[in-house]
Amino acid sequence: MKLSRIDHVALSVKDAVKSKDFYSRILGLPEIPRPNFSFPGIWYKLGDIMIHIIQQPDQPEHVDRAKLSAQDAHVAFFVDNEEELQKVIQKVESENIPWYELENAPSGLRQVFFKDPDGHMIEIVTPNPASPYYESVYLKYYV
């Protein structure tokens, strides 16, 4: 058996409309057509990966949106450079969404974390040439 790639990531949410606002307007993900399932949801495509938002009204409450930890399960999105990362930071700040950056990340990346309306952790990453780990980790494993 040989797995060839990740096809999609699915996130269960309480309110698909509220989540659509977050993923479409705040993150700017491109929405794609979704089959007519018996439950509400939204599909997005970013590169070769799809993100499926699935409404489940019985979804248990997630942890407090203000509690941020890089160790929480999360979905990570890549931006090409620091300028794009700053745009993301400015956008989440303008929406009053708490965020934090993992200081001195041993990945050779800049890593910024915040949560969606249901408490799913979102990470935004970009290369950090100023990091002492940039050549030994980022260039070795990410490029």
pLDDT the model gives residue 61: 64
Q: 63 lies in a domain?
A: no
In a domain, 37, yes or no: yes
- Kindly report the backbone phi and psi dihedral angles of residue 137, in degrees, each rounded to the nearest multiple of 5, phi listed first: -115, -60
49 & 75 share domain: no
**Same structural domain for residues 49 and 110?**
no
* pLDDT on residue 66: 59
84: domain CATH number is 3.10.180.10
- Extract the tokens encoding 61: 């409450």
Is 62 domain-assigned? no
pLDDT per residue over 8-48, tens digit each? 999 989 899 999 999 999 999 999 999 999 999 999 999 99
2/46: higher pLDDT: 46
In a domain? residue 64:
no
Domain range for 13: 1-57
Q: Is the pLDDT of residue 71 over 70?
A: no
pLDDT number for residue 62: 60
- pLDDT, tens digit (0-9, with 9 covering 90-100), for 96-127: 999 999 887 888 889 999 999 988 999 999 98
Dihedral, CA of residue 103, residue 105, residue 109 and residue 112, to nearest 10:
-50
Q: Largest Cα–Cα distance in the chain?
A: 50
Indicate if the pLDDT at residue 65 is higher than 60. no
pTM, two decimals, is 0.84
Q: Could you tell me if 122 and 74 are in contact, meaning their C-beta atoms sit under 8 angstroms apart?
A: yes
User: Residue 69 class from Cβ within 10 Å (0-12 exposed, 13-18 middle, 19+ buried)?
Assistant: exposed
Q: What's residue 8's pLDDT?
A: 92
Asked if residue 77 has pLDDT above 80, the reply is yes
How sure is the predictor about 135, in pLDDT bands with cuts at 50, 70 and 90?
confident
